[in-house]
Amino acid sequence: MPVEDAMRHRVRTWFAKPRIMKMRSFGSVVATRIEDLCDAIFDRWYRLDFDGVIEQADLATKQHASHANAVRYEAVAGIDLRVVVSEALRVDPTIQNFLDLGSGKGKSCLYVARSFGFKNIVGIEFSAQLIEIATANNAKFPRQNIDYVLADAAQYKMLPVPTIVHMYNPFDAKILDAFLTNNMEHFRSYGSVIAYVNDRNRSKLTKFGFETVYRDQTRKLSVYRLPDTFA
Ligand SMILES: C[S@@+](CC[C@H](N)C(=O)[O-])C[C@H]1O[C@@H](n2cnc3c(N)ncnc32)[C@H](O)[C@@H]1O
């Protein structure tokens, strides 16, 4: 990475960098708990609703073809999100667009809006009920630049801009395959980077030719890009 880009990455991600990365000597367990506690206080303070688990069978969607391939709703851990997005921005610190595949109640979109300087943030979600909750959460921060789109990831075509694509294990390998098939031209053209939390179907990404540029085996976090789009 050129020196200028490395500096830009450092400045852009330092404040968002989880305390776990700044306070290694305190031990990761303590640091993780502090991180979780800060996030819980933030959520309570603003009365944000990210809570609960909605089992796959109970997800309300009209996308019947993809329903069986979905994973249950559950909000991402803020610490995992911040680590994986920081690492993805290391690949290209100039990326200004963020896409969350399966945005649920909007935690990832809202947290990255709070922590990183993205110009555009899009969350796609196939449950209208969850989009409604995400929109209500967002209304507490009127200046946030987040669009929630009711869409099936299996059919979604990415916007023609370099993007950090985030997934918190939203669906199985079949939907991931469909998403990648529809968007390979985008990845070849724009060098977008995939940030994957609970990366169960990561082998699918390598089959499509993506290279793993970061992996945390313990926390199951990883980052991917296509090799021929190296900066
Ligand atoms: C584990 S939750 C992740 C929530 C959110 N991204 C977060 O980080 O807090 C996965 C979400 O993906 C959604 N989902 C599953 N399959 C989908 C599909 N084919 N298209 C769009 N959304 C989908 C589910 O409804 C659920 O809200």
Instruction: Name, in order, each residue with C-beta under 8 angstroms of 11's C-beta and a sequence gap of 6 or more.
Output: none
Nearest ligand 1 atom to the CA of 67 is 16
pLDDT in tens, the chain (231 residues): 777 787 778 777 776 766 656 555 456 778 788 888 999 999 999 999 999 999 898 898 888 888 889 999 999 999 999 999 999 999 999 999 999 999 999 999 999 999 998 999 999 999 999 999 999 999 998 777 899 999 999 999 999 999 999 999 999 999 999 999 999 999 999 999 999 999 999 999 999 999 999 999 999 999 999 997 644
* Confidence at residue 224, expressed as pLDDT on a 0 to 100 scale: 98
Q: Give the pLDDT score at 66.
A: 84
Number of Cβ within a 10 Å radius of residue 47: 9
- Residue 112, ligand 1, Cβ within 6 A: no
Dist. CA 95 → ligand 1 center (Å): 23
Q: How far apart are CA 24 and CA 185, in angstroms?
A: 40
- Strands of 97-101's sheet in order across: 146-150, 120-125, 97-101, 163-168, 193-197, 221-225, 211-216
Structural domains in the chain (count)? 1
DSSP string, 157-177: ---SS-EEEEEES-B-HHHHH
pLDDT computed for residue 96 by the predictor? 96
Instruction: Kindly provide the residue ranges of all beta strands, DSSP E only, lying in the chain, ordered along the sequence.
Output: 97-101, 120-125, 146-150, 163-168, 193-197, 211-216, 221-225
Ligand 1 centroid to Cα of residue 175, in Å, is 11
Residues in the chain, overall count: 231
Helices (H) and strands (E) in the chain, counts: 9, 7
Residue 100 Cβ contacting ligand 1 at under 6 Å: yes
Domain containing residue 110:
3-229
Task: Supply the DSSP symbol for 96.
Answer: -
Are 4 and 12 spatial neighbours (Cβ–Cβ below 8 Å)?
no
- DSSP letter assigned to residue 76: P
CB of 83 closer than 6 angstroms to any ligand 1 atom: no
For ligand 1, whether the C-beta of 127 sits within 6 Å is yes
Ramachandran category for residue 140: left, alpha or beta (phi over 0 → left; psi -120 to 50 → alpha): alpha
Predicted model pTM: 0.88
| Residue 20: exposure state from Cβ atoms within 10 A (0-12, 13-18, ≥19) | buried
CATH number at residue 179: 3.40.50.150
What pLDDT does residue 146 have? 95
Q: Indicate which atom in ligand 1 lies nearest the CA of residue 103.
A: 6
Instruction: Give per-residue burial for 152-180: e unless 16+ CB within 10 Å, then b.
Output: bbbebebeeebbbbbbbbbbbeebbbbbb
Beta-bridge mates of residue 148: 123
